[in-house]
């Protein structure tokens, strides 16, 4: 039997990682998330959040916690848009509804909670 010499490109293909279960690691991470119910905020705390929202301007840097698909997420970034009609805030490229915000801290407010 005569062996033909393998090209470097063909030889390199042997060492490319093979994912037999494509998407499986991501599915596992998704399963690890704990789904939590949305917290009920007191009227006083809702008023405080509204006061903080009114102080926010485009290009402010903010830190916030918001509810999204059964979990609370933390985010920091620059406010790129505020839409009072749709009651949403855009932080970098993420649009967050006012009603989903659990906590918000600007450079002008103290740590909230």
Average pLDDT for runs of 10 along the chain of length 113: 75 66 74 79 94 94 93 94 95 95 77 46
Identify the pLDDT of residue 4: 75
Tell me, yes or no, if the pTM score tops 0.95: no
Q: How far apart are CA 11 and CA 15, in angstroms?
A: 8
DSSP 8-state secondary structure symbol assigned to residue 112:
-
- Which helix H or strand E contains 62, and what residues bound it? strand 61-68
Tell me the CA distances in angstroms from 7 to 4, 21, 73, one per residue in order.
Answer: 9, 28, 49
Spatial separation of the C-alpha atoms in residues 96 and 78, rounded to whole Å: 13
- Separation between Cα atoms, residue 99 and residue 38, nearest integer Å: 11
* Helix, coil or strand: residue 73: strand
């Amino acid at each position: 039997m005569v062996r033909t010499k393998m090209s470097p490109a063909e030889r390199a293909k042997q060492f490319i990682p093979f994912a037999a279960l494509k998407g499986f690691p991501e599915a596992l991470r998704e399963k690890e998330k704990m789904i939590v119910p949305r917290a009920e905020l007191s009227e006083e705390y809702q008023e405080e959040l509204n006061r903080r929202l009114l102080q926010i301007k485009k290009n402010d840097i903010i830190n916030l916690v918001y509810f999204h698909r059964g979990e609370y997420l933390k985010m920091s970034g620059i406010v790129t848009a505020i839409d009072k009609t749709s009651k949403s805030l855009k932080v970098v490229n993420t649009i967050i509804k006012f009603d989903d915000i659990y906590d918000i801290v600007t450079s002008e407010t103290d740590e909230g909670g």
